[in-house]
A and B are shown apart, each in its own frame.
Chain A
Amino acid sequence: MSGLSDHWAGLSPVAQQFWIAVLKVAVIFNVLLGLFSFMTYAERRLLAFMQFRLGPNRTGPFGVLQPIADGIKLFFKEEVIPEGANRWVFVAAPAVAVVAAFLSIAVVPYGGPGLFQIADLEVGILYLFAISSLGVYAIVMAGWAANNKFTMLGGLRSAAQMFSYELALGLSWVGLIMLAGSFRIQDIVTAQKGGLGLLNWFCVVQFPAFIVYLIAATAEVNRTPFDLPEAETELVAGFHTEYSSMRFALLQMAEYVNMITVAAVGTSLFLGGWLSPLPLLPDSPLWFFVKFGLLLFFFIWLRGTLPRFRYDQLMHFGWKVLVPVATLWILVTAGLVTAGVPGFRR
């Protein structure tokens, strides 16, 4: 053991930082994988309870081993490539989806500066804005490659939907940048610190932006009530109709990781990240996970509650309601900051 610590002390600072980064990535990657499989179970179980059913409860105690059983089953399933499909694009799409989904979690801080973040980028929020649009490639690729009319329509719908709501998503962040005066996510979290605890959070100060973010984020990750790309009643399963085996699992995984990311980003930007909700309690990464868990539950709850939008309603809502509201709110925030209203001054 002492040999290892001697070796560690002998490394250059850059090499030490490199190995710390590798370790952080390894931990966060595995936590995400675990969280993904747990979410598949939690969602089925919670939805079942909301619909007076039991859900998966046979594999292991309370059915918690269900994700493992599903994983094993999917590994041994036969892989089908439909005739007329573009093989390479068809196979590449799930990999693209997974990489794009995992990349955005890198800038989310789940604790104070230092260890609790993979990369503390100075342009954190711009990075999020850029990476969040990568996911649409995978869906369009998957939809186009299969040579199936349902997947084609699902892919197109998804692209148009993500475009429409990404705009509102990006605009909802502008007010936060104004108030925090920084692109760094860590700075945006600490800008929400104040004597009033949770009343200082941006979900209160920037309430309209928070609502726009929640709606746009739900649409961005294709969750009910915006799950038009895979509307079962009209498009069979949308862009992943022709997928089977682990390719299907990877697409599902990308979807869940995207939901996890959106919840983590919302926690950091609007719910004060790792800050404590009450002025007297200490700040800690635990708070991050509590709020994050609540947001994840909120997404499942939405799915159990709301019916699906019609496609024209969805596009109208995105363009004619969310984008104008977000833009107007930017102007209002700018006016309030210029006028020096308390709470908007910092």
Chain B
Amino acid sequence: MLPPYVPILILGGAALSFALITLLASSLLGKPRPTPAKSAIYECGVPAVGTARERFPIKFYLVCMIFILLDVDAAFLYPWALIFRELGMFGFIEMLVFVGLLGGGFVYAWKTGALDW
């Protein structure tokens, strides 16, 4: 039996080689002829000021962290949903407790303004 992941690897390989061949062909066909004006960073026509690698708002980090927490929880819900029927009432109450704890954290994040933009 062929392992089921081999076709996925073949598809990934096909996509990667397609991308690489396209990039190569394009760089051979359209030769870059850089001039200072052409390779300047686009900033609506005026000369660029400073660099783009600056500090950015902390909100993005907050969203990231909340996402990781809740995403791991979503991943926990998957196996539970799979065997939910066999667990019966016990599984249902367990999950209510789990989602309740999770909801507590979510409400805390909401109230402290971590979800406000």
Task: Tell me if B82 counts as interface (CB < 8 A to partner A).
Answer: yes
The B22-75 residues at the A interface (CB cut-off 8 A) are 22-23, 25-27, 29-34, 38-44, 48, 51-54, 56, 59-60, 63-64, 66-67, 70-71, 74-75
Distance of A99 Cα from B17 Cα, bound (Å): 9
Chain A residues with CB below 8 A from B88, complex form: 338
26 CB < 8 A contacts A-B: A14-B1, A76-B29, A78-B30, A82-B39, A83-B39, A98-B18, A106-B7, A106-B8, A106-B11, A119-B4, A122-B4, A126-B78, A129-B75, A148-B48, A149-B52, A152-B54, A153-B56, A156-B60, A159-B64, A163-B64, A164-B67, A182-B82, A247-B23, A323-B106, A330-B77, A337-B85
Chain B residues with CB below 8 A from A160, complex form: 59-60, 63-64
- The answer to whether B56 touches A148 (Cβ under 8 A) is no
Question: How many residue pairs at the A-B interface have CB separations less than 8 Å?
Answer: 217
| B interface majority secondary structure | helix
State which of A50-58, A197-205, A214-222, A310-318 sits at the interface with chain B.
Answer: A310-318
Complex: chain A residue closest to B109, CB-CB: A319
The B98-117 residues at the A interface (CB cut-off 8 A) are 99, 102-103, 106, 110, 115-117
- The answer to whether B78 touches A177 (Cβ under 8 A) is yes
- The answer to whether B23 touches A91 (Cβ under 8 A) is yes
Encode contact with B along A267-303: 1 for CB under 8 Å, 0 otherwise. 0000000000000000000000000000000000000
Chain B residues with CB below 8 A from A7, complex form: none
Complex: chain B residue closest to A15, CB-CB: B2
- The answer to whether B25 touches A75 (Cβ under 8 A) is yes
| A residues adjacent to B (C-beta < 8 A) | 13-14, 17-18, 21-22, 24-26, 28-29, 74-84, 91, 94-95, 98-99, 101-103, 105-106, 118-122, 125-126, 129, 144, 146-153, 156, 159-160, 163-164, 166-167, 170-171, 174-175, 177-178, 181-183, 236, 241-242, 245-247, 249-250, 311-312, 315-316, 319-320, 323-324, 327, 330-331, 334-335, 337-338
- The answer to whether A337 touches B40 (Cβ under 8 A) is no
Chain B residues with CB below 8 A from A327, complex form: 99, 102-103
Query: Which residue among B18, B20, B44, B81 has the maximum number of chain A CB atoms within 10 Å of its CB?
Result: B81
Nearest 4 pairs between A and B by C-beta? Answer: A246-B26, A102-B15, A312-B117, A95-B19
- The answer to whether B2 touches A99 (Cβ under 8 A) is no
**Residue A149 contacts which of B43, B84, B115 (CB distance < 8 angstroms)?**
B43
Distance of A242 Cα from B43 Cα, bound (Å): 10
Distance of A316 Cα from B31 Cα, bound (Å): 46
- The answer to whether A77 touches B1 (Cβ under 8 A) is no
Chain B residues with CB below 8 A from A82, complex form: 39-42
